[in-house]
Structure 1
Amino acid sequence: MSGAGRSAARHYDRAIDHLLHFRMEVVHEAGAALAEAPDFPMGNVLSAYLGLLSTEADQARQARQSFAAFRTRIDHAGLPPRERAHVEAVQALLDGDFHACGALLARITEQHPRDALALAAGHQIDFFVGDARSLRDRIGGALSAWHEDDRHYGHVLGMYAFGLEEAGHYDRSEEVGLRAVELNPRDVWGIHAVVHTYEMQGRFGEGIRYLDARVDDWSTGTFFNVHTWWHYALYAMEAGDHGRALAIYDAVLAAGRSSMELLDAAALLWRFYLEGDLRHERWSVLADAWPARTHEPCYAFNDVHAVMSYVGADRIGDADKLIAGREAYLGQPLPGVSNHGMTARVGLPVCKALVAFGRGDHHQVVDLLYPIRHRVNEFGGSHAQRDAVQKTLLQSALRGGRHDLARVLISERINVRPGSPFNWLKRGALAEAIGDSAAATAARLRAGELMHQARTGNVSASE
């Protein structure tokens, strides 16, 4: 690496290790590297990624200013090729082009498959744009260059496991994720990949027991703790233990401060809201935290969860104001800005649908969400996170009397995840709505059996 003395390189190396562990110390070590060598190119690259991948508008602005100042002080053409490529990838991200950044990082990985920063940053970019194939293949294409005795081999496996899960390879993702955690028990991203696999298969009881067995490894010391608790709360909800889910909310999620933590809180409360459990007192506190983070367009996925919070708090005016601001944003010509297209194609329709749900206009919800239901991934997030949108569509189909559509949506869900109590409860609700009391009773009994299995562990929910 150019521009780094021995001490700066040591801090950089520690920072990469902390980054792969999702430890908060990454910020300190990245700063220490730059304190030793302010014009150290890879130190500036890492620092910029930390600001940009947070999806916080204020941190992105600071990263943009710092990186611009750094670029005025260096000879870009004189950098080694790989460092120059990293600088160009960061610049693409600073310019708002997630897709160009991801492509540039992919080129680095082709030539340097053991560049951990290129893999980690590219993996997050793929997540932000909802590209399941790249989440899988970016890591899979580099994996053969890594070996079991490499210090961070387990972390690369953890990333690969998550990509496999998002691409639907559940058996393989479980196998790879478990191996990643075996190699490094505190690999929270690997744990997270296994948790997602169980979620997508409807293995909620196994998920709870997996997290319980490893609670000391994932619940403290990283900036990923809150998100994993969110997954735990989802498991508890599916098992019918709403009290436990709310206890997790009050103890952990309600104290969230970053956009990622706030959206987890909103996504959990929204699932209660869809069932008619409004929780206004919790929503009000959450809604107060969003205006400072949505005062300018940054990431459409965050906007959606801010609107959930406003609707849940019965502050429809605030939701309308955010939507109007984003409509004005779309009126600006911003070619190459990924969030602009994500907002137009997915973010704004979903925001409007959430407001329509809050107003009880379920036909409008269906009209907005049904045409985009198979491309909601385009504004990022995981299958588990985006399921809040799919559940909103299903609830409005039921409440709006769109029984044929509700039947299709429920059938899709049950045949993918037959072990989900939620899916069977919705089958029961539909059967009751169309007057089939016997089918409604049978579906609810099945849901009850699955909840009991998830709570007691006598039989796995997948069975």
Structure 2
Amino acid sequence: MTQDQHGLAMSGAGSAAARRYDRAIDELLHFRAEVDAEAGAALAESPDFPMGNVLAAYLGLLTTEVEDARTARVRFGAFRRRIDESRLLPRERAHLAAVGALLDGDFLTCGARLAEITVAHPRDALALAAGHQIDFFTGDARMLRDRIGGALSAWREDDPHFGHLLGMYAFGLEEAGHYDRSEEVGLRAVELNRRDVWGIHAVVHTYEMQGRFGDGLRYLDARVPDWSTGTFFNVHSWWHYCLYALEAGDVDRVLAVYDALMSDGQSCMELLDAAALLWRLHLEGSDQTVRWRALADAWPMRVAEPFYAFNDMHAVMSYVGAGRLYDAEKLIAGREAYVREPHPGVTNHDMTLRVGLPVCRAITAFGRGDYAAVVDLLYPIRHRVGEFGGSHAQRDAVQRTLLEAALRSGRHDVARVLVSERVNVRPCSPYNWLKQAALAESAGDRAAAALARRQAAALTRTALAD
């Protein structure tokens, strides 16, 4: 019997496999691609090592890539057939049950089982990391906060991964709306480990949600070497950088970053970042057809079958941006057939039915210029789009689509409500004031429009000068 670096017993692992497992957890918490090699090395040393097989399964299932999930399913099934589960430790059996739920497409049950593991074993870093990702994929802000917060008292500040726990906790605090505390905890996480990209990410999200784009640019600029290379999170970090640059009105810089670092995405995560960025430009009338065409070509194999509705939305964005409405409508038709069939316990089925399909239909309607239909589709679900995962910052693409459609369709009543909400939550956002100007202009109030535009310009100057 061996122990992992956090003092938890593990069966079926020799000392070499246990060391490789510990390294893999470290790489995972750093978001480094080496996690796959270390996990594979652990299994090469001890093929039936339960926690090694559990880790490999989570790695395959949490990429949201269909092929990765298929491979994980085959390998984990073979492992389970080789072993006597009754001889495993209770924590290991609990992980097998959590992985089993995830293999069945039941994100919610997996998350609940991982939470039970954390209650009994709050120092199980894998249960915390996997559970945190499940909470992200399901848009559960409360659990993003409390899953980690409930375990923190079992960790010491001198634990080598305490900072990573703080980084996860900071992100949960941000998604739950505790921005002051999120900034404090996130900064502390990065102080403990300057290359904690998830901690940096939490701080960046906090500034985004507060409209502090100048602070965000300065924060990222000051530590470029810490977040821009060496992890599989680089593109997403650059996406955040581009959001700040867009708020500042620097489209040239956004496109330069896109072309250099985002145009050849190799994963669903990278492709959806690229689509989400180009879609924001599309909403503002920026013609990026050439870039859209290349991006649209990368999606078909990844959305050939239903797997994660959040990915579907970004594929549809790409098809619409490229002018391939037929492909968007084909994907939607496939998902409509999918939801007509029963899929008990499959989280993506409900995500697709309740949020994914209405959003995809709305994006396609936007591409057709049917802005009234966009409003009709999105306004009723605008407060529950979190059900299909992602962060507030990512889902803002949906809210911006609704606002732009309300303005273009002449639905001034809806646009007024949406702009008022945005301005009062983030009064320092130039984008929000520019939409206030567009609303005033459409109502014929040129004086109010001019004042709003001046406010947007002043905010930009002040933020970039500080």
What TM-score results when the alignment is normalised by the length of structure 2?
A: 0.98
Native 8 Å contact 1:363 1:400 kept in 2: yes
Note if 1:346 corresponds to 2:355: yes
Native 8 Å contact 1:239 1:450 kept in 2: no
Native 8 Å contact 1:45 1:87 kept in 2: yes
Note if 1:315 corresponds to 2:321: no
1:361 partner amino acid: D
Partner of 1:2: 11
Note the aligned Cα RMSD (angstroms): 0.5
Q: Distance in 1 between matches of 2:28 and 2:90?
A: 24
- Aligned equivalent of 1:278, options 276, 287, 291: 287
- Aligned equivalent of 1:161, options 150, 170, 192: 170
Partner of 1:232: 241
Q: Distance in 2 between matches of 1:390 and 1:278?
A: 21
1:344 partner amino acid: L
Q: Distance in 1 between matches of 2:320 and 2:458?
A: 34
Which portions of structure 1, spanning 4 or more consecutive aligned residues, are displaced by more than 3 angstroms? none
Note if 1:133 corresponds to 2:142: yes
Q: Distance in 1 between matches of 2:185 and 2:127?
A: 21
Partner of 1:181: 190
Residues 23-34 of structure 1: pairs in structure 2 closer than 5 A = 23-34=32-43
Q: Deviations over 1:4-41 (max 9, x none)?
A: 00110010000000000000100000000111111110
Structure 1 residue 453: deviation in Å? 2.3
Partner of 1:20: 29
Native 8 Å contact 1:106 1:122 kept in 2: yes
Partner of 2:5: none
Native 8 Å contact 1:407 1:430 kept in 2: yes
Partner of 1:442: 451
- Aligned equivalent of 1:357, options 349, 360, 366: 366
Does the residue aligned with 2:305 lie in a helix, a strand or coil?
Answer: coil
Partner of 1:425: 434
Q: Distance in 1 between matches of 2:440 and 2:178?
A: 32
- Structure with the bigger RCO (C-alpha within 8 Å, sep 6+) is 1
Partner of 2:376: 367
Does the residue aligned with 1:117 lie in a helix, a strand or coil?
Answer: helix
Does the residue aligned with 1:168 lie in a helix, a strand or coil?
Answer: coil
2:293 partner amino acid: S
Partner of 2:99: 90
Partner of 1:47: 56
Q: Distance in 1 between matches of 2:453 and 2:17?
A: 61
Q: Distance in 1 between matches of 2:104 and 2:329?
A: 28
2:26 partner amino acid: D
Partner of 2:391: 382
1:305 partner amino acid: H
- Aligned equivalent of 2:79, options 70, 77, 80: 70
Q: Deviations over 1:71-127 (max 9, x none)?
A: 000111221100000011001000000000000000000010010000000000000
Structure 1 residue 423: deviation in Å? 0.2
Note if 1:405 corresponds to 2:417: no
2:423 partner amino acid: I
1:162 partner amino acid: F
Does the residue aligned with 1:255 lie in a helix, a strand or coil?
Answer: coil
Note if 1:116 corresponds to 2:125: yes
Partner of 1:241: 250
Structure 1 residue 450: deviation in Å? 1.4
Q: Distance in 1 between matches of 2:50 and 2:154?
A: 25
Structure 1 residue 284: deviation in Å? 0.1
5+ residue gaps in structure 1? 459-463
Q: Distance in 1 between matches of 2:211 and 2:164?
A: 25
Partner of 2:4: none
Partner of 1:38: 47
Partner of 1:264: 273
Q: Distance in 1 between matches of 2:329 and 2:261?
A: 29
What TM-score results when the alignment is normalised by the length of structure 1?
A: 0.98
2:221 partner amino acid: D
Partner of 1:461: none
Q: Paired residues, what number?
A: 457
Partner of 2:7: none
Does the residue aligned with 1:144 lie in a helix, a strand or coil?
Answer: helix
Q: Deviations over 1:153-197 (max 9, x none)?
A: 000000000000000000000000000000000000000000000
Q: Distance in 2 between matches of 1:16 and 1:254?
A: 30
Partner of 2:3: none
Q: Distance in 2 between matches of 1:308 and 1:452?
A: 32
Partner of 1:295: 304
Does the residue aligned with 2:158 lie in a helix, a strand or coil?
Answer: coil
- Aligned equivalent of 1:304, options 313, 325, 333: 313
Partner of 2:114: 105
5+ residue gaps in structure 2? 1-9
Q: Deviations over 1:199-227 (max 9, x none)?
A: 00000000000000010000000000000
Native 8 Å contact 1:373 1:390 kept in 2: yes
Q: Distance in 2 between matches of 1:185 and 1:148?
A: 15
- Aligned equivalent of 2:214, options 205, 223, 246: 205
Q: Distance in 2 between matches of 1:46 and 1:248?
A: 34
Q: Distance in 1 between matches of 2:413 and 2:360?
A: 25
Q: Distance in 1 between matches of 2:113 and 2:265?
A: 33
2:328 partner amino acid: A
